[in-house]
Amino acid sequence: MAQLPTGFPKDDIPTARLRLARELKQTVRQARQSHGLTLYLPVERMHGIIIPASFVASEPLAAPTGELAPEAVLRDLARDAEDASVREVDGTAAIRTLRRLPADPENGVEVPTWRVQYTVPIPHSVPAQWLTFSFSTLIAPDMGAEFAEILVELFDAVMTTFRWSYA
């Protein structure tokens, strides 16, 4: 009970737990539908808050259009994104996209969201395969865009530590 916000009515605890469980299940379902293989959600408080973010690594995905060279696929992804840049992930060219999505209360999204995605070709895969690493953070009213920018920078820093490992 010590972690409940001040003034939180004790009668609302069961309702809050059910809502949290429902939202977590929805997040997992969305990750699975997007070919998510691994989902990371911060659950420990940092400086008194739970970080409103998630990180999903996909399962290997087949090349979207047959036998196109990785560079052509990266160009297509960059062309269709609102904010795209080429990055290097362990010596492999990757595309990084950033989408700023507005709140969508009709679909249960009460606050704006930022999503960063890295799309990386798996070196030497035949036929070509790809991994995506997606990061999402909510723009909570009491945190603002500056906090989201810091979280995005942290995710970008994490991606610079990615290394290919072969069994």
- The correct CATH number of 11-160 out of 2.30.110, 3.40.1000, 3.40.630, 3.40.1420 is 3.40.1000
User: Model confidence at 2, in pLDDT bands (50, 70, 90)?
Assistant: very low
Tokens of 46: 């940092």
The full set of domain ranges for the chain reads 11-160
Are 114 and 52 contacting, i.e. CB atoms less than 8 angstroms apart? no
Omega prior to 42 cis, within 30 of 0: no
Are 161 and 88 contacting, i.e. CB atoms less than 8 angstroms apart? no
H/E element holding 24?
helix 13-33
Q: Is the pLDDT of residue 9 over 60?
A: no
- The SS3 call for residue 99 is strand
Are 116 and 53 contacting, i.e. CB atoms less than 8 angstroms apart? no
pLDDT in tens, 16-37: 556 656 666 666 666 666 656 6
pLDDT of residue 90: 92
Give whichever of 12-21, 41-50, 129-138 has the largest mean pLDDT: 129-138
